[in-house]
Structure 1
Amino acid sequence: MKHHATGYCLRAVCLVVVAVWTAALAPLALSKEMPVPAAAVAASRHATASNRATTTVANFPDGWWFVDSQGRRFFSRGVGVLSPGTPVAAFDASKPSYAALRHYDSLNAWADSSLKRLKFWQFTTIGGWADLDALHRSAEHDLWMTPVVPLGAAGGAPWLNMWDPERLAAIDQLARQEIAPWRDDPRVIGYYCDNERGWWNAELWRLTLEQPPDSRQRMALIEMLKRDYHDDWSELTKDFVPSDGVGDWQSLSRGGGLRHRPGSDGIRTMRRFLALAADRYYQVMAETIRRHDPDALFLGDRYQSFYYPEVARACGKYADVASTNLSASWNDGGFLRCYLDSLHRLSGKPLLVSEFYMAAAQNRSGNKNTGHGFPVVSDQRARAAAVTRSLAELTSKPYVVGVEWFQYFDEPPHGRFDGEDYDFGLVDIDDRPYDELTAVFAEFDFDRLGQRRRAVRPDAGAGVPPAPADPFGVLGYMTGLEHWDRERGFVPAASDAPLADLYLCWMREALYVGLYAIDPVERSYYGGGPPAAEDRALWRLKLDDRCTATIRLGSGQPPAADLPGLRVESYSGVDNIPRLIAVVEIPAAQMGRAELRPGDAVALDGELVTHGRAYRYHWHGVYTLAD
C-alpha cells in the first residue's frame, strides 16, 4: 500500500482479525555472532512489565541489529500481504485475482506451502496485512511477525483533534482489540501504528483551523502562533492572509482560517506546527502500544516514500525503530542516497524498510502496471537484476535492521480496490513463483551483511565521471538521471541531513550538474490554486568563481535561469508528486575555459532553497575530472 494518487484523504485501513496464537516456536535465521551487551539493550528499549521473551534493537560496531531474547542478532526479511487472497466464492474469472483456495484443498495446506516457500527463499518475517489467523495454525509457522495496527486511522490522527477523548478512546479500543491476541507471542517483533499517513503539511494546517474553537489541537496551534509572533497580529499577517471576518487574535480564537502569504516565511511557520502535531501523534501512539504490549517494539508508521524532517525528528523521540515504505528512485532499483541516511540522522533510530518492490511489463498475471508511477522494467530477468541492486543498497546501510517485500502475490490485473494493478508478487495470481525473482532472495548472501556495511561507496571526490551520450535523456520520474554514473558522480552534501542528492558528470564542451530532491508542494497552501512563482525552489550554483547561476525550479512549472547560455531541464509536480529532478548544462566557456579535459579541477558551490524557503541544503568542494 504505497504512495497512491489519492491525495491526502483520510483512509481507514482494515486489518485482518487474528486469533490467539498458542505456539511459541524459535524464529529462524539468527546470526551466530556475538551476544548483545546488556547496556546496549537497555539503552535501546523502553522498560518492560512482563517476563515475555522480547526482541530488542541495539547498536554494535558494525551497525544496528534486531536482537532476540537469547542475545542473538538478526536482520529481518519480511513479506507483506501473505494472505490467501480472494475467497473462492467471490472469484470472478472475467476479473481474475489471486485466490489460493482454487489451488489448495484447505487454508492449512496453503499456509504450509507458503511458509515453506518463504523459508526456502530466506525470508524470516511475516510483514503487514497477513492472514495471521490462518498462518498461526500451520506447523510451519516459526517466523517473526510485524503486524500493522492502524491506530491513527482509527482516530483520524493527525488530521483531527488528537486530544479529543473520544478519538483517544477509539485508538485505545482498536489497540486492545488487535494487540491482545498476540501480546504474549515471542515471535512478534513489534507493531507499526499506521501506514502512509502522508503528513501533508498544508492539509493538516487547514483541517486543524477548521476544528471547533474548543479543540485542543486548534488551541495549541494558536498558542504556538502567539509565541512565534510575540502576540503581534501585524507580524502574523506578514506571513498569512486571514479569512474573511478574522481581524485579530480574539476573532481567530473563535474560528476562521489562515492561508500562507506568497513570498513570506509562512510555510516555515507551518512546518513548526507540523513538528508540534507529530510530537503529539507519536506520543499517543507510543503510549497506546506500550500500554497494551509493553514488551513489543514500536516500529513507527511506514512513511510513503517521502517524509518531512519535522516528522522524522518527532518519531525518533518515541519509536524504537523508524519505518518507511520505499519505492526505488529509478527503474534500475537504485535509491537516493540522502533518503535513508537523513531519516536515520533525523530520527536517531535504526530503520525498517517496511515495503520495497519492483514490477515487470512481462508477467504471467497480465498486470499492466498502470496508474501510480512505481518502478517497472521490461521482463522478469531485468526485475531480478533491479531487486538485486535494491537489496545490495539496503543491506549496505549499517542502520537498516530489516526489509519487507511488497507483496506475496501479484495484484489483480484489472486493479485492486484503488485501481493499482502491478506485478509486485513473488508468485503470480495462479500461485506460480517467479523463479528469477525468488532466486534473488534465496541466493542473496545475508551472512556477509556485516562486511557489506563496512564498504565505502564511491563519490565524485575520487574523480568526476564522463557524461552519458545525452545527459538530459528522458527527464521524468524513475528515468531522470537514471543513465548517469550516480556512484562516481555523487557529490556529498555539506548539510547534515539533506533531502536532496547532487551529481556531476562532464564532456569536453560542458559540465553537467544533476539534482534530485524531495520537495512537497501542496495547492492547499494557496487555497487550492496554483503555487506562487515567488515560492518556487531556488537552485544556486557557483563554479570556479566565474559562473554564478540562480535557477527557479519546481511546482510542475518549467525551470527559469538568470544566466543566458545555460540549458536547464526539470521534472516536478504538486500534491502527490513531491519530487524535483533537474539537469543543467554549463558550457566550458561560461567557466572561462576553451574546453574541459581529464585532470581539470572544478570548484563547486551549490545551494538548494526548497519551496517556500522551508529548508536549505549546501554542497561545496573542488572536484577533478576523470576518464
Structure 2
Amino acid sequence: MIQFPEWTATRWWRLVLAWLPSCWLSLDAQLSTPSSPTRREPSRYQFETDASGTWFRAPDGSKFFSVGICFTNPGTRREDYDDENPSYAAWRFHPTPLDWARRTTERLHRWKFTTLGAWSDFETLSPASSNRFHYTPVLHAGSTAGAPWWDMWDPANVRRMRQVARDQIAKVQPKSRVIGYFSDNELGWWNATLWKMTWEHPPSSGQRRRLVNLVKAHYADDWKAMVQDFDPEKASNWKELSRRGMLYRKPGAGGIRVMRRFLGLMAGRYYELMREVILEADPGALYLGDRYQSFFYPEVASAASRHVDAISSNLNAQWNDGSFLRSYLETLHGLTGKPVLVSEFYMAAKENSSGNRNSHGVFPVQPTQDQRTSAARNTLQLLARTPFVAGADWFQLFDEPKHGRSDGENYNFGLLDIHDREYALSSVFQMFDPPALRASKSTRLDATGGIPPAPPQPFADFRPRHALLHWDRERGYVPPAESSGLCDLYAAWSSDALYLGLYSLDIAEAAYYRDGSVPKVDRALWTVVFKGKPVVRARIGSGREPLWNEPRVEIENASGLDHQVGNIAALRIPAELLAHPRLEAGQRIEIECSLVNHAGAGKHRWTLAFPLSD
C-alpha cells in the first residue's frame, strides 16, 4: 500500500536458485554490483536465531519479535480539516500534542506493540515519558531522487539520495532506539517500465550505457541474434542503439531473460547505494530493505541479499480471512537468506464507526468487526509461526477519512476510528504471544496426506479475495516439485471430478510490447498431464478470458495486467479424463501439472501422486 508525506519450513525454494540461470544472478564483472563493504561499527540491534525462530536482540540484551505500527501520527491538522470529509484529528480529542503522545503511547504499550515504524511521528511521540518503543523509519531516499527510474550513476542523483538520507535520519532521535531504516516503500520495480524508461535516457546516462553493454554481452555482440528476440525502434545496429532507440520484446521470443538480468543489475546498484547512504548517516543502523509491494521479482530480491540486513515486504493478504500464499514469504527468505520483516499488513470491515466504504482499492475486507478481528489474528499468528519472520507492522493507528484520503483510498484500517474510539481489533495484539506460538511447533498439512473433498461450488464467487477462499487450502496445498516461486497449487475432489486451484503472482506489463497488447503466445500456460498425455493446455492471465483445448474441462480465471499481478485459476477435470467412471475416497490420483508464467519468465511444476481423502 502506498502511503503519502511454527510449521516446518520446506526447502523447495532451493529450486528457485537452481531454476534461475546462473548468468542472471552473476553478471559480467564490468556490469555487476559487488557486495556491500563490512560495517565500520557493529549495529545497535542484532538478529538472533534459535530453535524456535529469528528474533531481534535489543542493545540491552532483550530478545523480541517486533510488533510494530507503521503510521502513527496526530492526523489531520486544524487548518486542513474538512467537515465534509471527516478524518482523525488529534486536536479534537487531546489538548496538546504532548497529551496526544502520552495517550497514544499508553494505548500502544497496553496493546503490546513494541515498535513505531515507517511514517510515525517520532518527533511528537519521543518526548512522552511512557515511550519505550523501538523505531524503524522509512526514508524515501531512493524514490525522492528518482530511483530506480532515473540514472542511478548520475552524481547529482546520488548526492540527492545521500542528502535525503542524511536529513531524514537526523530527525529521528534518540538513535539508541532506532533498529534501522527502510530506504523506500513499494517501488514496484516494474521490469518493462524500467526497461523502457532507461532506453529513453540520454546517451550520456550511465544507466543507459550499462543497459546497452548488458544487451551486447548477452548476445555476444551479435545484432542478428538480438533481433530474434527484440524489435528495434530507431536503431539498426549497435552504434545507433548506443545513441538512441528502444527494444520491444517480440512475442514468443526469449528477450525476457536479458530484461530480467537488467532488472537484477539495477536492483544491485540501488541496494548498494542505499546501504552506503544509510550507514554513512547512521553507522549503527540495520538496513531493512525497501518494503516490497506485496509482490517481488526474484532477481530484485536476489540482488538485495548482498546489501540488506533484513528483507522487507508489505503483505496484502490474498484472501479476506487473512491468509496468504505459502510460497510468498518462503521464496523471499529462500532467495535472500535474510530475516523477513512484514512491513505492513491490514484488514478492514464493512461494519465500522468511521463510515469507511472500503471501495477504492484492492484490500481484504470482512463484513463485521468480529470477523475483521478474527482475520487479523489469523494473519498475525501465521506470521509468528513462520520461523524466519522477525517482525510484523500493522498499517495504521486510525481509520482513513470517511470519504477517502487524497488518492481516494477509504478503508477501515485503524485500531481507532476517526472519533478516537478503540476497535475490538486491538485485542488481537494485546493477546499476541509470539514465544508461546513458536513454542507450540506444528507442521502444516498438505495434499501429501490426502486430497480433501471439494466445496459444494468450487467456482463460486470467482474474483480476487474470494476465489478459492472456501477451498480447504491447508489439506489441499500441493508442494511443488520445481518452482521459480510465487505460485501455490491446491487440489480437491468430488465423485465426478478432480479440481485444481492455482494462485500465481505473475507480472504482465503492456509496456513489453510495441502495440501494448499481450499476445496469446506470451500468456501464462497451464498444463495438466495424465499418463504421459497432456489432458489440458490452457492460456490464462493477462486480464483476459482463459483459452483451453479440451471441451470437457471447465476453467475459471481472474487476472489483470500491469499493477494487477494476481493470476487466479480453477480447473475441473471430469473423472472420465482420469480413466475413472467416478472418484472415491482411497483412490490414488497421479498427474503432472505445470505453469509457465508470462513470457516464460518463471516455471512451476507439481507431481500429484496422492490418495483421495474424506
Distance in 2 of aligned mates of 1:326 and 1:259: 32
* 1:441 matches 2:429: yes
Distance in 2 of aligned mates of 1:69 and 1:107: 29
* 1:133 matches 2:120: no
Which residue is equivalent to 1:412?
401
Which residue is equivalent to 1:315?
304
TM-fit CA distance, 1:183? 7.0
Which residue is equivalent to 2:577?
590
Report the more deviating stretch, 543-552 or 522-531: 543-552
* 1:451 matches 2:451: no
* 1:58 matches 2:68: no
Q: 2:346 aligns with which of 348, 353, 357?
A: 357
* 1:119 matches 2:106: no
State the secondary structure of the residue aligned to 2:537.
strand
Which residue is equivalent to 1:171?
161
Which residue is equivalent to 2:511?
524
What one-letter code is carried by the residue in structure 1 that aligns with 2:66?
S
* 1:186 matches 2:176: yes
Q: 1:558 aligns with which of 545, 550, 556?
A: 545
Contact 1:47 1:294 in 2 (8 A): no
TM-fit CA distance, 1:537? 0.5
Q: 2:91 aligns with which of 70, 78, 101?
A: 101
TM-fit CA distance, 1:50? 5.2
Contact 1:183 1:292 in 2 (8 A): no
* 1:568 matches 2:555: yes
What one-letter code is carried by the residue in structure 1 that aligns with 2:426?
T
Distance in 2 of aligned mates of 1:114 and 1:440: 17
* 1:326 matches 2:315: yes
Change (3 A) 1:46 1:165: closer
Q: What does 1:405-554 align with in structure 2 at a 5 Å threshold? A: 405-434=394-423, 436-452=424-440, 454-495=441-482, 497-527=484-514, 529-545=516-532, 548-554=535-541
State the secondary structure of the residue aligned to 2:425.
helix
What one-letter code is carried by the residue in structure 2 that aligns with 1:450?
R
Contact 2:527 2:534 in 1 (8 A): no
TM-fit CA distance, 1:294? 1.3
Which residue is equivalent to 1:30?
none
Q: Percent identity?
A: 45
Which residue is equivalent to 2:152?
162
Distance in 1 of aligned mates of 2:207 and 2:486: 28
Report the more deviating stretch, 155-164 or 58-67: 58-67
* CA displacement 1:418-458 (0-9 Å, x = unmatched): 11000000000011010x20111111222313324x32100
TM-fit CA distance, 1:497? 4.7
Change (3 A) 1:190 1:46: farther
CA RMSD of aligned residues (A): 1.5
What one-letter code is carried by the residue in structure 2 that aligns with 1:356?
F
TM-fit CA distance, 1:536? 0.4
* CA displacement 1:496-544 (0-9 Å, x = unmatched): 5521000000000000000000001111111362211110011111235
TM-fit CA distance, 1:181? 3.8
Which residue is equivalent to 2:247?
258
* CA displacement 1:203-260 (0-9 Å, x = unmatched): 00000000010111001111111111010001111111111x3100000001111111
Report the more deviating stretch, 57-66 or 386-395: 57-66
Report the more deviating stretch, 489-498 or 253-262: 489-498
TM-fit CA distance, 1:494? 1.4
* CA displacement 1:466-517 (0-9 Å, x = unmatched): 0000011111111110010000000011125521000000000000000000
Q: 2:362 aligns with which of 356, 369, 373?
A: 373
Change (3 A) 1:489 1:544: farther
Contact 2:459 2:467 in 1 (8 A): yes
Contact 1:268 1:612 in 2 (8 A): no
Contact 1:241 1:261 in 2 (8 A): yes
* CA displacement 1:61-103 (0-9 Å, x = unmatched): 3221111124332100001210000112322222110001100
Distance in 1 of aligned mates of 2:458 and 2:483: 28
Change (3 A) 1:351 1:46: farther
Distance in 1 of aligned mates of 2:529 and 2:319: 28
State the secondary structure of the residue aligned to 1:127.
strand
TM-fit CA distance, 1:184? 5.8
Distance in 2 of aligned mates of 1:444 and 1:528: 51
Contact 2:263 2:300 in 1 (8 A): yes
* 1:73 matches 2:63: yes
Change (3 A) 1:63 1:46: farther
State the secondary structure of the residue aligned to 1:304.
coil
What one-letter code is carried by the residue in structure 1 that aligns with 2:256?
I
Change (3 A) 1:184 1:413: closer
What one-letter code is carried by the residue in structure 1 that aligns with 2:431?
E
Q: 1:208 aligns with which of 198, 209, 213?
A: 198
Contact 2:339 2:389 in 1 (8 A): yes
TM-fit CA distance, 1:261? 0.8
Distance in 2 of aligned mates of 1:216 and 1:449: 50
* Number of residue-to-residue matches in the alignment: 584
Contact 2:554 2:571 in 1 (8 A): yes
* 1:227 matches 2:217: yes
What one-letter code is carried by the residue in structure 1 that aligns with 2:187?
R
TM-fit CA distance, 1:373? 1.1
Q: 2:72 aligns with which of 59, 68, 82?
A: 82
Distance in 1 of aligned mates of 2:534 and 2:41: 65
Distance in 1 of aligned mates of 2:179 and 2:202: 39
Contact 2:535 2:577 in 1 (8 A): no
Structure number with the bigger relative contact order (C-alpha 8 A, sep ≥ 6) is: 2
Contact 2:74 2:89 in 1 (8 A): yes
Give TM-score, length-normalised by structure 2. 0.93
Distance in 2 of aligned mates of 1:47 and 1:222: 31
Change (3 A) 1:547 1:268: closer
Contact 1:124 1:144 in 2 (8 A): yes
TM-fit CA distance, 1:48? 4.6
Distance in 1 of aligned mates of 2:514 and 2:272: 31
Contact 1:128 1:148 in 2 (8 A): yes
Give unpaired runs (5+ residues) of structure 2.
Answer: 6-35
Report the more deviating stretch, 520-529 or 379-388: 520-529
Distance in 2 of aligned mates of 1:415 and 1:527: 36
Contact 1:345 1:497 in 2 (8 A): no
Give unpaired runs (5+ residues) of structure 1.
Answer: 5-12, 15-44
Distance in 1 of aligned mates of 2:613 and 2:381: 26
Distance in 1 of aligned mates of 2:62 and 2:134: 14
Which residue is equivalent to 2:268?
279
Contact 1:544 1:602 in 2 (8 A): no
Give TM-score, length-normalised by structure 1. 0.91
Contact 1:341 1:497 in 2 (8 A): no
Q: 2:141 aligns with which of 133, 148, 151?
A: 151
Contact 2:381 2:437 in 1 (8 A): no
* CA displacement 1:108-157 (0-9 Å, x = unmatched): 11001111111111100001111111101111111001000001112100
Which residue is equivalent to 1:620?
607
Distance in 2 of aligned mates of 1:432 and 1:527: 53
Contact 2:123 2:173 in 1 (8 A): no
Q: 1:402 aligns with which of 391, 394, 404?
A: 391
State the secondary structure of the residue aligned to 1:151.
coil
